[in-house]
């Protein structure tokens, strides 16, 4: 399929949408997002996961994802993952299972991934490891860095506005404050592991939908 045909198909899929966010939103403070099991707002479901999957198969989107579920408490020497040498926050059993389900879903549904960027924190890199995604590029601006919010927000905005290679999608794994700094309304209700599907177009970005990490393991999603 040619790049022009893919663009035409994506435009056809997007025509009926009411876009739920756009770039240029004012950054918000470093608030924590809703964690698994906590009382939280309902995830925005403007489009069903089946529709978003169909769009992602054509490529051209950025998947902006929170790391999978990670308790606030730091592990001790006995409970830390062997690769977590600094004893940072790490995924719990639910986070590990969700990350694996996400990776299996990406492969089963044949979602074409291009560049993958990740926060250098262990819990973000662990999300990709458990998903079976081994090729990625850590970026400091995807971490939560005190005193760097403005420049990191600008760097993330540039990344989101960069179209992926034709026929592929870019995956970005980061933290809730970074997602909310770009899309404060669309991030409402975004739990750990959940993601926004973003369309970069002519230097601007538009959020076209949201998916929960558990969506990728749903047996009802049609494999291609």
pLDDT, tens digit, 9 for 90 and up, residues 43-98: 777 899 999 999 999 999 999 999 999 999 999 999 999 999 999 999 999 999 99
Residue 7: pLDDT over 80: no
pLDDT value for 10: 55
Average pLDDT over residues 119-129: 98
Residue 27: pLDDT over 50: no
Residue 171: pLDDT over 50: yes
Residue 15: pLDDT over 50: no
User: Residue 4: which pLDDT band, with cuts at 50, 70 and 90?
Assistant: low
Residue 194: pLDDT over 60: yes
pLDDT value for 39: 39
pLDDT value for 105: 96
Average pLDDT over residues 146-172: 97
Q: Could you write out the three-class secondary structure of the chain?
A: CCHHHHHHHHHHHHCCCCCCEECCCCCCCCCCCCCCCCCCCCCCCCCCHHHHHHHHCCCCCEEEEECCCCCCCCCCCCCCCCCCCCCCCCCCHHHHHHHHHHHHHHHHCCCCEEEEEECCCHHHHHHHHHHCCCCCEECHHHCCCCCCHHHHHHHHHHHHCCCCCCCCEEEEEECHHHHHHHCCCCCCCCCCCCEEEEEEECCEEEEEEEECHHHHHCCCCCCC
Q: For residue range 202-214, list pLDDT tens digits in order.
A: 889 999 999 999 9
Q: Which has more pLDDT, 20 or 93? A: 93
Residues above pLDDT 70, as percent of the chain: 79
Residue 107: pLDDT over 80: yes
Domains of the chain (ranges, CATH numbers): 21-217 (3.40.50.1240)
Average pLDDT over residues 116-145: 97
User: Residue 29: which pLDDT band, with cuts at 50, 70 and 90?
Assistant: very low
pLDDT value for 23: 39
pLDDT value for 34: 53
Residue 188: pLDDT over 50: yes
Q: What is the average pLDDT value for the chain, to the nearest integer?
A: 86
């Amino acid at each position: 399929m040619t790049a022009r045909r893919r663009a035409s198909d994506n435009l056809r899929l997007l025509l009926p949408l009411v876009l739920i966010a756009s770039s240029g939103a004012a950054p918000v403070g470093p608030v924590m997002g809703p964690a698994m099991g906590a009382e939280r707002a309902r995830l925005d479901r403007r489009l069903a996961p089946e529709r978003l999957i169909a769009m992602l198969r054509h490529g051209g989107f950025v998947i902006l994802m929170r790391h999978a579920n990670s308790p606030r408490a730091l592990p001790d020497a006995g409970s830390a993952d062997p690769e977590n040498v600094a004893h940072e926050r790490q995924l719990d059993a639910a986070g590990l299972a969700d990350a694996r389900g996400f990776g299996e879903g990406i492969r089963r549904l044949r979602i074409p991934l291009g560049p993958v960027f990740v926060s250098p924190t262990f819990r973000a890199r662990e999300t990709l490891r458990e998903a079976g995604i081994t090729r990625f590029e850590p970026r400091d601006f995807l971490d939560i860095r005190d005193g760097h919010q403005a420049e990191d927000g600008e760097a993330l905005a540039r990344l989101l506005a960069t179209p992926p290679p034709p026929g592929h999608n870019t995956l970005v794994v980061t933290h809730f404050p970074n997602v909310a700094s770009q899309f404060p309304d669309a991030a409402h209700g975004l739990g750990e592991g959940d993601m926004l599907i973003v369309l970069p177009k002519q230097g601007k970005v538009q959020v076209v939908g949201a998916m929960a990490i558990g969506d990728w393991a749903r047996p009802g999603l049609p494999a291609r």
